């Protein structure tokens, strides 16, 4: 069931267009991640959905309510949209107890005090915060505050839950935990959730669907696996994962089979964006670090490279490899001594893009 429709939302800030026509839909029981670097417009888009920012153009529907329609001059205020928003800073009201923070949305909706009390206690218990109901936010840890913020946004069962970088203020361990339970919670409650993040791991792990934004535009969308393994632009390819970038010239192009090469090296690969790609034109290739394997003997798609050093990363080793102007990082399970090695680049993992590919 589609809970959120966003269609061609455009927003200007002064003369600058910061959203250039974003469109997507989202349904119950799934998490859509808005992923992008800072300045990509992901937070602005979220705020447009929440009604905290007002786009000049576009259409937004939340549940069965039209929240924005520039044709019909409709722009609902945030409080009319029946959404829940979890802020990066949690934005808990310092002068209210946990209970009062969480219960506020119910109070505003005219739920009587007794029912509200039960609901608040239920959700707090569920989040393991039951015993903290009478504390003030300043008396809570960061993780607890975050959970209170989520309770506050969920308790009145909004049509759409918006999460603005909800994990970025947690330390690394907590973040991984939170990632998991937030996802579980949303799936259990069958809520429609939009998650804004700059952290690809977070998006990949938590979301059902990822929208990758760049310069106010959605450059690619799809399920995490698809987005990760099927990027359709250099930006998308490079933004996700740990990557090696090879810059050189296109030597041959046959359908999607392409060869890119530079001073003393050449790689077979797959062209992922044809526009602007022509033989002899400059090109660039993205190769995920984990796709490169290092061995001590030649073979198909293997080239000889100079191993400069092996760095110990705890769970694995990182190799620093070089051939002419071509520098590569690869991983392996054991320490290798510096010297000549063979690196295998599977052609389907060498994604060739035109050098000018920006979008």
Contact positions toward another protein, by CB under 8 A? 2, 7-8, 10, 12, 15, 17, 20-27, 30, 32, 50-52, 54-57, 68, 70, 73, 75, 77-79, 81-85, 87-89, 91-95, 104-105, 108-109, 149, 152-153, 156, 162, 208-209, 211, 217-221, 223, 232-233, 359
Token code pair at residue 310: 């092996």
Closest CB to another protein among residues 220, 243: 220
Token code pair at residue 102: 């969480």
Report, in Å, the least distance between residue 249 CB and another protein.
25
Closest CB to another protein among residues 84, 269: 84
Closest CB to another protein among residues 48, 307: 48
Closest CB to another protein among residues 206, 305: 206
SS3 (DSSP) at 30:
strand
Q: Rounded to the nearest 5°, which phi and psi values hold at 52? A: -80, -25
Report, in Å, the least distance between residue 247 CB and another protein.
22
Closest CB to another protein among residues 104, 342: 104
Give bridge partners of residue 326 from the DSSP assignment.
323
Report, in Å, the least distance between residue 236 CB and another protein.
8
Report, in Å, the least distance between residue 204 CB and another protein.
16
Buried b (16+ CB within 10 A) or exposed e, 41-63: bbbbbbbbbbbebebeebbbbbb
Residues 6 or more apart from 256 whose CB is under 8 A from it?
270, 271, 272, 274
Residue 339 burial by Cβ neighbours in a 10 Å radius (0-12, 13-18, 19+): exposed
Give the single-character DSSP code of 87.
-
Closest CB to another protein among residues 109, 225: 109
Whether the CB-CB separation of 106 and 116 falls below 8 Å is answered with yes
Strand 326-332 to strand 317-323: parallel, antiparallel, or no bridges (unpaired)?
antiparallel
Residues 6 or more apart from 305 whose CB is under 8 A from it?
321, 322, 323, 326, 328, 340, 341, 342, 343
Closest CB to another protein among residues 25, 168: 25
Report, in Å, the least distance between residue 30 CB and another protein.
5
Whether the CB-CB separation of 158 and 189 falls below 8 Å is answered with no
Token code pair at residue 171: 């330390």
Closest CB to another protein among residues 229, 293: 229
Cα–Cα distance measured from residue 142 to residue 158, given in angstroms and rounded to the nearest whole number:
24
Closest CB to another protein among residues 54, 295: 54
Report, in Å, the least distance between residue 276 CB and another protein.
12
Which strands, in side-by-side order, build the sheet including 302-312?
293-295, 339-344, 302-312, 317-323, 326-332
Report, in Å, the least distance between residue 4 CB and another protein.
10
Report, in Å, the least distance between residue 90 CB and another protein.
8
Report, in Å, the least distance between residue 113 CB and another protein.
16
């Amino acid at each position: 069931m589609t809970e959120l429709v966003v269609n061609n939302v455009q927003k200007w800030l002064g003369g600058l267009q910061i959203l250039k026509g974003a469109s997507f839909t989202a349904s119950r029981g799934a998490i859509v991640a808005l992923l992008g670097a800072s300045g990509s417009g992901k937070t602005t888009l979220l705020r447009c959905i929440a009604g905290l920012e007002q786009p000049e153009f576009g259409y937004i529907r939340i549940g069965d309510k039209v929240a924005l329609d520039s044709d019909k001059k409709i722009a609902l205020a945030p409080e009319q949209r029946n959404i829940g928003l979890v802020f990066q800073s949690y934005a808990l009201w310092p002068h209210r107890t946990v209970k009062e923070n969480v219960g506020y949305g119910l109070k505003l909706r005219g739920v009587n005090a007794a029912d509200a009390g039960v609901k608040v206690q239920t959700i707090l218990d569920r989040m393991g915060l039951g015993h903290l109901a009478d504390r003030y936010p300043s008396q809570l840890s960061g993780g607890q505050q975050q959970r209170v913020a989520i309770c506050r946004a969920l308790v009145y069962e909004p049509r759409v839950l918006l999460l603005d970088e909800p994990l970025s203020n947690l330390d690394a361990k907590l973040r991984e935990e939170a990632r998991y339970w937030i996802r579980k919670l949303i799936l259990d409650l069958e809520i429609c959730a939009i998650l804004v993040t700059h952290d690809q791991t977070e998006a990949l792990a938590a979301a059902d669907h990822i929208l990758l934004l760049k310069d106010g535009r959605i450059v690619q969308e799809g399920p995490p696996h698809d987005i990760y393994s099927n990027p359709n632009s250099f930006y998308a390819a490079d933004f996700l994962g740990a990557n090696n970038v090879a810059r050189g010239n296109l030597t041959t192009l046959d359908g999607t089979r392409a060869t890119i090469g530079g001073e003393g090296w050449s790689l077979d690969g797959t062209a992922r964006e044809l526009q602007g790609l022509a033989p002899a034109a400059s090109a660039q290739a993205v190769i995920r670090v984990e796709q490169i394997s290092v061995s001590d003997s030649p073979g198909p798609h293997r080239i000889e490279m100079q191993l400069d050093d092996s760095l110990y990363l705890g769970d694995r080793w990182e190799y620093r490899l070089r051939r002419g102007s071509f520098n590569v990082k690869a991983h392996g399970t054991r320490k290798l001594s510096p010297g000549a090695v063979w690196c295998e680049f599977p052609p389907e993992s060498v994604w060739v893009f035109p050098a000018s590919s920006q979008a």
